[in-house]
Amino acid sequence: MEKLFANDRKESIKKILYGYVNEDSISNTKKEKQAEKYFIDYFSSQKYFQENPEYMGAFPIENDALKRSVSWAMVRGNGTKTVVMIHHNDVVTVEDYKSLKNFAFQPDVLYEKLGAIKDSFSEEARKDYESGDYLFGRGVCDMKGGGSIQMQLLTEYSLEDFNGNVIVLGLPDEENLSVGMRTAVLLLKKLKAKYSLDYVLMINSEPHQRRNPEEGVFSFGSIGKVMPYIYVRGFLAHAGKVFEGFNPVNVMAEIVRETEVNVELSDVMGKEVAPPPTWLYLRENKLSYDVSMPLSISGCLSVLTFTQTPKSVLDKVKTICKKSFDRVIEDMNSNYTKYMQHGGSNSAMLSWKSNVVFFGELCSEAREKYGDDFQAKYEEYLEKISDDIFHERETYISANYKLIEFVYDYIDDMSPRVVIALAPPYYPNVTNKFHEGEENQLSNLYDVMSGFVQRTFGQKYVAENIYTGISDLSYSSVYNYEETLEGLRQAMPLFGKAYNLPIAEINEIAMPCVNVGPWGKDFHKLTERVYKPDLYYRTPQILDYVIRAILKSGEIV
């Protein structure tokens, strides 16, 4: 096939993108189906897919209340080597557009409307607007721009005698819980078995951000996310008898202080550092006001990871909880001694002892005492909670709390303790460094890609091991599979029930990954924008070069 001229490709990408963006597929709403339909309609109108309808489709997400599917299309060529390109086609809400909401999905109209308020932008955003080099609109950057590039390239490959195979996946729900990508793993396993595919690389096209405007970024991995859920059980007492009780807020406050933005919990890889943990949810669990101290308090924190597994994170959190618990008891004893001395009495040590367990250990304690009766009723309750989540009567957070409370009905020891669980979602950390030592044919991928960009565009691109924006690339492989599985089974009550994580299947389809996307700015904001030269020219050529080079020989040389 005669190569498309750059302007021809530009106009094709633009046409795809404008149509894609016009589908206002807000995440976790029925509108996501509109992007799915656009993807399917786009490919089903093409001759290749009309002649090979089995090479595209919509793969349903099991038990999805919104009845969403993973959209996919595949061009099959010669051999088994296969590149998988992924993009999400859901977008965040447009509340910040205020009176311009109706234009958020119409880039050209929006551009004209933004002219009236450009002086309220940051200096950088205003200059970018006035330059004319950026396309504005919800989803143009994050990430239908990258998706449109992928769709155009697959169209080009369908028109020629192609070496290897290329799959493009359009994924829902990335901005929420990534149920799209978790389902796509099952699809990739099915396609691998049916067509004897050898997956050599997964490419995401999330927009990249630049520290230096003159340097693009290639990411050879994606950050992980673990959500420890911590429940602190106290001992009730009247507010006028504080030393007869144990206030769980005291322990939780110490745990929060020891974990919030604690850089000691951040992974480091070379000069790359994971953002430190932060608490996303925290509340005591009293239903109404009275003069008793609360019985329990619970919450969850987000821990972003480069190399840690759920088990290693949980072990660190458990150590912090134990130290925090001990410190609170020590402080209480000190204050109790002073209190008694002021009253002219001798004091003894308070009876409290620290006790920190994982959720699985709490269940074992209940099972040892109440046996099959507990197990049967727990499983019945877990099914009910899962159904409540499906019908949005419960969230993952509230479900964790109710499951722990349920188990406590079978716990005879009512002394204070901390229970540690995991709340969904879980994002595995991935980086191509985990593939080193294997028969890795892509070890010099960065050198080849950066060399091509320098020769072709006179542009420098730097490499980072980890894309820190959280992405669906997390499900391209799983690091330390056995330990990861152990941690999830030990502490995540909803694992395998209301929260499906096909970890065994991820391990089966595991492949190296890279993020190659256009330069973008202000994701999720009114001034979301993408750099046109990247969108229409540079990124498509980089992706095309890499895909052809890999599939030509199965390696980059």
Structure confidence by residue, pLDDT tens digits, 221-269? 999 999 999 999 999 998 888 999 999 999 999 999 999 999 999 999 9
Closest-CA residue to 307 (of 443, 445, 466, 420): 466
Q: Where do the H-state alpha helices sit in 78-178?
A: 107-114, 123-131, 144-157
Query: What is the distance, to the nearest Å, from the Cα of residue 80 to the centroid of all Cα atoms in its chain?
Result: 30
Beta strands in 423-518 (DSSP E): 430-431, 460-464, 513-515
pLDDT score at 425 = 95
Is residue 519 within 8 Å of 216, Cβ to Cβ? yes
Task: Label the pairing between strands 272-273 and 268-269.
Answer: antiparallel
pLDDT, one tens digit per residue, over 309-330 is: 999 999 999 999 999 999 999 9
Q: Which amino acid is at 183?
A: T
pLDDT score at 6 = 65
Per-residue pLDDT band at 442 (split at 50, 70, 90): low
Section 158-170 average pLDDT: 95
Q: At 314, list the tokens.
A: 């949980």
Q: At 316, list the tokens.
A: 């660190």
pLDDT score at 557 = 43
* Mean pLDDT, rounded, of the chain: 94
Q: Which amino acid is at 497?
A: K
pLDDT at 334 over 90: yes
Q: Please give the residue that has the higher pLDDT: either 8 or 2.
A: 8
Is residue 313 within 8 Å of 303, Cβ to Cβ? yes
pLDDT, one tens digit per residue, over 95-118 is: 999 999 999 999 999 999 999 999
Query: What is the distance, to the nearest Å, from the Cα of residue 319 to the centroid of all Cα atoms in its chain?
Result: 26
Per-residue pLDDT band at 459 (split at 50, 70, 90): very high
Percent of the chain at pLDDT exceeding 90:
87
pLDDT at 349 over 90: no
Beta bridge partners of 130: none
Helix (H) or strand (E) holding 514: strand 513-515
Closest-CA residue to 205 (of 479, 549, 555, 535): 535
Which top CATH class is 225-422? alpha beta
Q: At 480, list the tokens.
A: 């330390």
Distance of alpha carbon 427 from alpha carbon 179, whole angstroms:
11
Q: At 485, list the tokens.
A: 């599985």
Question: CATH topology for 6-200+446-458+527-553?
Answer: Aminopeptidase (3.40.630)
The yes-or-no answer to whether 6-200+446-458+527-553 and 225-422 have a common fold is no
Residue matched to tokens 């990249």: 208
Per-residue pLDDT band at 92 (split at 50, 70, 90): very high
pLDDT at 348 over 90: no
Distance of alpha carbon 150 from alpha carbon 129, whole angstroms:
26
Q: At 102, list the tokens.
A: 């109706």
pLDDT score at 1 = 33
Distance of alpha carbon 495 from alpha carbon 489, whole angstroms:
7
pLDDT at 2 over 80: no
| Residue extents of the structural domains in the chain | 6-200+446-458+527-553, 225-422
pLDDT, one tens digit per residue, over 134-157 is: 999 999 999 999 999 999 999 999
pLDDT at 439 over 50: no
pLDDT at 174 over 70: yes
pTM: 0.92
Residue 74, preceding peptide bond in cis (omega within 30° of 0): no
Residue 425, preceding peptide bond in cis (omega within 30° of 0): yes
Closest-CA residue to 443 (of 205, 85, 201): 201
| Dihedral sign, Cα of residue 182, residue 188, residue 190, residue 193 | negative
Q: At 463, list the tokens.
A: 């490499």
Q: How many other CB atoms sit within 10 Å of the CB of residue 147?
A: 29
Residue matched to tokens 């990408």: 13
Is residue 89 within 8 Å of 35, Cβ to Cβ? yes
Closest-CA residue to 477 (of 509, 445, 444): 509
Is residue 234 within 8 Å of 293, Cβ to Cβ? yes
Section 25-32 average pLDDT: 97
pLDDT score at 387 = 95
Section 425-442 average pLDDT: 75
Distance of alpha carbon 163 from alpha carbon 154, whole angstroms:
13
Per-residue pLDDT band at 347 (split at 50, 70, 90): confident
Distance of alpha carbon 255 from alpha carbon 392, whole angstroms:
30
Per-residue pLDDT band at 435 (split at 50, 70, 90): low
Beta strands in 134-197 (DSSP E): 134-136, 163-171
Q: Please give the residue that has the higher pLDDT: either 541 or 342.
A: 541
Section 466-479 average pLDDT: 93
Which letter does DSSP use for residue 392 in this model? T
pLDDT at 441 over 60: no
